[in-house]
Chains A and B, each alone.
Chain A
Amino acid sequence: MNLLERTKKIKLSADIALASAKHSATCWSKAIISEAKKDERNTILLNNLSAPKMNFKCTHQNFACLKRIRSRKILKKSCDVGIKMKKLKPRRQVSNLATCIAKRLVKKRTQVLKRLVPGGESMDEYSIIKEALDYILSLRVQVDVMKNLVNATTNFE
C-alpha cells in the first residue's frame, strides 16, 4: 500500500471507530457508517471496528430518517407558502433590507456547514446546528487520540 492509500485507510478506520462509539445516537455517525457500508471492501473493517450493539439497523434507520426529513420539508414548504401569502401585506418594510441580507448570509453558511458535516444535507437548520456541535466535539477527540498515538509511536524509538 502506498502512502496515500494508507492515509485514507487510517482516516476511514478512525472515522468508523468514532462513529460507532456514538452507538447511532447522532445522525452524522449513522451517515458515516452507512456510507462506509456501501463499499464492499470495508466490510471486514466494519465488522472489527463497530461496537457490539450496532447492527444492520443503521442503514434502515438512515433511510427512514432521510425520508421523514424530506417529507417534513415538503410539508413545511407548502405551509410556508400559504403563510407568506397571508403575511406579505401587513408586514413592515422598514428593516427588510438588513434582515434579508442577514438571512442570506446565514443561509449560505448553513449550506456550507451542511456540506462539511457528514450526512448534513438532509437536515433542517435546527438539527444541523445540533449535529455540528456533536461533530466538533468528536473531531476534537479524534485529533487528540491521533496526537497521542503519534507521540507514543515516536517516543518508542
Chain B
Amino acid sequence: MEKREETCTELFQFGEESEFQSLMSVVPPPETGNSFTALLELPPNQAVMLLHSPEETAPDNFTSPEFLETPNSILPNSSPNNFSLVKQEPVDSDSVHNSSPNMSDPVISKSTKRKERGKNVKSAAKKSKSVANETDGDKLPYVHVRARRGQATDSHSIAERARREKINARMKLLQELVPGCSKITGTAMVLDEIINHVQSLQRQVESGSLMDGNGNFTGMVSPPLSNQIWQPDGLTPQPLWGVEEMNPNFITPENSLLSYDSSRSSVSLHTNQLKMEL
C-alpha cells in the first residue's frame, strides 16, 4: 500500500510514465479458471459441477506469487477471475508458499481429487442430466448435474437446484467481500449490507471527486445527494462506519477499508488516465 502511494505521488511530481509500465508488467493478468474450479469445490457435498473449458486454460499466468499476496486484487480482466482470486486466499493459503511452476498443479490435483470423492458419494436415485458442452466465450458451459439421494429427480427441480446453488456460491463470495457480512445468515440481510456498501462507496466517489475539483477550498460542502438512500424495513440495525479524516479541512464519514490492498495494474492505468484528464 505504501509503495503504491509513493509511486503515485512520485508520478505527480516527476510525471514519469515508465513507473506505470514497470508496475503493469509486474502483475500479469491471470487467465485461468483453476481458481474458479477451486472456488466451486467449496461446497463439496453438493451437486457435482464440471466446468470444462475454464479448467483447460493455461496455468502459466497464474503463477506470480506477488499477485497472490494481495487479498482483494482487482484485474482488468474477465470477471470470473476476480471472484476466484478473492476467494483463493482462504482456500489455497498453502499454495502461496510454493514456487511458481508447482503452484498450479496442487490446485488442479486438489480439485480433481475432490470431484472424484464427490462422485463416489452420490448413490441411488441418480439421474444425470447431461447437456452437450457449449463453450461460448461469454456464457458458462453446461454442467453435468446429478440428483442427490432422497431428492426429487424432476428435471426442473434439478435445474432449479443447480441455479440456486450457483446463486448461493456467489452470495458467499459477496459475503466475504463486503466487510461485516460473514456473520449474517440469510440472503435478504446480506443483500441489505451489500446495498449499503455500494451506496457508501458511490458517495465516497462523489465526495472524492468534489475534493479533487476543489483543491484548496476549505469549506465543508456536502456532495449532491441525488440518489435515495436505501432504508431497510427497520429489521436490520444500521452499520456504524468509522470516521476518518482524509484532510484536515474536510471531514467525511468513510468506511475504513483496512483489509483492502488494491491491485497495481488497473489502478496505475486509472491514475494515468485521470492524470491525462486533469
Place the interface of chain B in its size category. Answer: 35 or more
B76 CB contact (under 8 Å) in A23, A126, A155: A23
Find out whether the CB atom of B188 lies under 8 angstroms from the CB atom of A106: yes
List A residues 57-80 near B (Cβ within 8 Å). none
Chain A residue nearest to B198 in the complex (CB):
A116
Minimum distance in angstroms from A49 CB to a CB of chain B:
5
User: Which of chain B's residues have a CB closer than 8 A to the CB of A9?
Assistant: 213
Chain A residue nearest to B187 in the complex (CB):
A106
**Binary A-proximity of B4-48 (CB < 8 A = 1, otherwise 0):** 110011001100000000000000000000000000000000000
Flag whether A157 is at the interface (Cβ < 8 A). Answer: yes
User: Contacts A13-B277, A17-B274, A141-B267 known; A133 to B210 CB distance under 8 Å?
Assistant: no
Chain A residue nearest to B211 in the complex (CB):
A150
Find out whether the CB atom of B195 lies under 8 angstroms from the CB atom of A129: no
Bound CA–CA A112/B195 (angstroms): 8
Find out whether the CB atom of B208 lies under 8 angstroms from the CB atom of A152: no
User: Contacts A14-B274, A153-B12 known; A135 to B209 CB distance under 8 Å?
Assistant: no
Find out whether the CB atom of A133 lies under 8 angstroms from the CB atom of B170: yes
Chain B residue nearest to A17 in the complex (CB):
B273
Flag whether B130 is at the interface (Cβ < 8 A). Answer: no
Bound CA–CA A107/B95 (angstroms): 39
Chain B residue nearest to A15 in the complex (CB):
B205
Flag whether B201 is at the interface (Cβ < 8 A). Answer: yes
Bound CA–CA A6/B213 (angstroms): 6
Find out whether the CB atom of B177 lies under 8 angstroms from the CB atom of A136: yes
Find out whether the CB atom of B191 lies under 8 angstroms from the CB atom of A110: yes
Find out whether the CB atom of A141 lies under 8 angstroms from the CB atom of B271: no
User: Contacts A83-B156, A113-B195, A143-B204 known; A18 to B270 CB distance under 8 Å?
Assistant: yes
Minimum distance in angstroms from A35 CB to a CB of chain B:
15
Flag whether A151 is at the interface (Cβ < 8 A). Answer: yes
- Listed by A's residue number, 16 A-B pairs whose Cβ atoms lie within 8 Å are A3-B213, A7-B223, A21-B76, A22-B76, A48-B277, A102-B186, A102-B188, A112-B230, A113-B191, A138-B74, A144-B260, A145-B262, A145-B270, A146-B205, A146-B209, A148-B5
Interface residues of B (CB under 8 A from A): 4-5, 8-9, 12-13, 72, 74, 76-79, 82-83, 86, 156, 163, 166-167, 170-171, 173-174, 177-178, 186-188, 191-192, 194-195, 197-199, 201-202, 204-206, 208-217, 221, 223-224, 227, 230, 233, 246-247, 257, 260, 262-263, 266-267, 269-271, 273-274, 276-277
